[in-house]
Amino acid sequence: MMYKGIPASPGIIIGKVFIISKNLEPVHTEKIKVVNPEKEITRLKQAIEKTKNEILLIKEKIISDIGNKDADIFNAYIMLLNDKSFVEKAVNLIKDESVNSEYALHMILQEYVKLYSNISDNYLKEKIIDIKGLFEKVIKNLSEEPSKLFPQKGKWIIVAEDLSPADTAEMDKKNILGFVTETGGATSHTAIVARSLEIPAVVGLKSITKQIKTGDLAVVDGEKGIVLIDPTPESLEDYKREQIKYSIKINILKKLKKLEAVTLDKHKIILNANIEFPEEVNVVKEHNADGIGLVRTEFIYINRTNLPTEEEQFLIYKSIVEKMSPKPVTIRTLDIGGDKFLPYIKISPEQNPFLGLRAIRLSLSNVNIFKNQLRAILRASAFGKVKLMFPMISTIEEFIASKNIVYEVMDDLKRKKIAFDENINIGIMVEVPSAVIMADELAKISDFFSIGTNDLIQYTLAVDRGNEAVVSYYNPLNPAILRLIKKTVESAHKNFKSVSVCGEMAGEPHLAFLLLGLGVDELSVSPASILQVKKVIRNVNFKDAFQVAETILKMEKAEEIKDLLYKSVKSYLINK
């Protein structure tokens, strides 16, 4: 039986399944009246302290295994456990209602779950898995009976409903070959830790724990998101051969780390990385990206009940900029709205939120929040090369209004003699058709363009990429999309400005070849895609990519474009 999930960490493994079911090891959270609330509060604080110590030990293990890369993920756990408002909320519940610690923690967790359950955006939704894992760890530490989550003998493929980053970090690679979960996504902290530890993983396989059993033979392909249960002898042999091919491919890619993204005819492409979290900077550096082309700042605002302070934001931006220096870091201002909401930013109900108060519109409607973020970004620019980028610009007026607020913040910093880069580059995301139509004019007042292909496709083709009924219409090879990209490039180059693509198109090798031919100057991709894209670029001629793109721009049907593109670059691709 074959199952298709979300690729979370690459690699091919073959082994027997070990099911971890929370029903077999329940976390007791029933409401129990306590006689002595003060004693119960002491019990809670001891469990929290014990959990902190365990998290610190896990962090030390990560550092010991792979260095500092991604160990910072666990700092967020420590921060939550040290958060006075979190501890006070639990303490007050115990005091006011004379309830046990387990119940108090369970009720607080339900608040977080409720907060994020109605959000369709996976990036925000996945964070609840981290929080649940941490709460469960504290609740287990309230018990005097220690428990081991993973088998201590044999070699197993773990299959579970969900795993927290802390769970993943505790895996012993001598016993654990890889894992499969029902929940999670490719951007979750659990997936990041798995990639760092090079533990193959597939996530998002709903109900998988109910469909297989411990001892079943399984093949897990973490690159394609495939899980094969009880494979035939023929399939097993095929995957053993795939294991060997994958190992050879990885060794080839690793040799590219120190090389530039330059074509055979010496055309240089700037190859940057997109990041969701500060801890990903280490992976970006390891893959030797030319810089960070997109810092999504939403992570600072989620998993909390109040706005982040200027100082909090500044320290996070500063850390990213200092680690990347002297390479550039492009920071995008807050992109909330659409299907991403925060409880402490009031937005009136909208019939169509994707066409409503989102991204730069939300910032311009909440100037104090906007200025707070801008001050933090500008202050961080004193510590390295920073570029500032606004999302969802649709009119000239929007961009001018946004820049004017930047200048106000700059004047304030100057008066207070606070250092920042007075020549910071300010650019825009090109994500809506109106921005492309006005690209000639926008290029005159913008320092750079970054094309967000995900939203550009959605808004141009009037298709909700999260709606399964119309997802087939969401096609990056639609000729309208390619012509919009070409027009954006031409408008920018006419005004001597650079163009980056930071949407998912840039990370797909075939499409990266096409973007190269369309004249894009920079590609910004997920850290995991850097080497694959670099391999394509280093194995083609720019003039060939240009000629293919020119032919494609004259074509009218997406399927015909796909056929020509794939045939044209077949010999250059990793999976030949």
Express each pLDDT in 105-153 by its tens digit: 888 888 777 766 655 555 555 666 677 777 877 887 887 655 567 887 8
Q: Using N-to-C axis directions, what is the helix angle for 73-82 and 127-141, rounded to 10°? A: 60
For the chain, give every domain's residue range. 2-24+148-234, 37-141, 255-572
The whole-number pLDDT of residue 280 equals 80
Q: Using N-to-C axis directions, what is the helix angle for 101-117 and 127-141, rounded to 10°? A: 180
Q: Could you give the CA distance from residue 91 to residue 89 in angstroms, rounded to a whole number? A: 6
One-letter amino acid for residue 369 of the chain: I
Long-range contacts of residues 80-85, Cβ cutoff 8 Å, at least 24 apart: 80/131, 80/134, 80/303, 81/48, 81/51, 81/52, 81/55, 81/134, 81/138, 82/52, 85/305
Class for the domain spanning 2-24+148-234: alpha beta
45-62 average pLDDT score = 78
Evaluate whether 405 touches 368 at the Cβ level (below 8 Å): no
Give me the catalytic one of 106, 189, 287, 510: 189
For tokens 């700042």, the residue is 297
- Does residue 25 surpass a pLDDT of 50? no
Express each pLDDT in 459-502 by its tens digit: 999 987 666 678 788 899 999 999 999 999 999 999 999 999 99
42-46 average pLDDT score = 89
Give me the catalytic one of 106, 287, 502, 510: 502
359: left (phi over 0), alpha (psi -120 to 50) or beta: left
CA distances from 256 to 199, 385, 508, 514 (A): 22, 25, 17, 21
- The length of the chain in residues reads 576
- Does residue 64 surpass a pLDDT of 70? no
The CATH T-level fold of domain 255-572 is TIM Barrel (3.20.20)
Which superfamily, per CATH, for 37-141?
A: PtsI, HPr-binding domain (1.10.274.10)
- Residues 356, 360, 362, 365: is their CA dihedral positive or negative? negative
pTM over 0.85: no
Annotation says 502 is catalytic: yes
**Average predicted confidence (pLDDT) for the chain:** 86
Annotation says 493 is catalytic: no
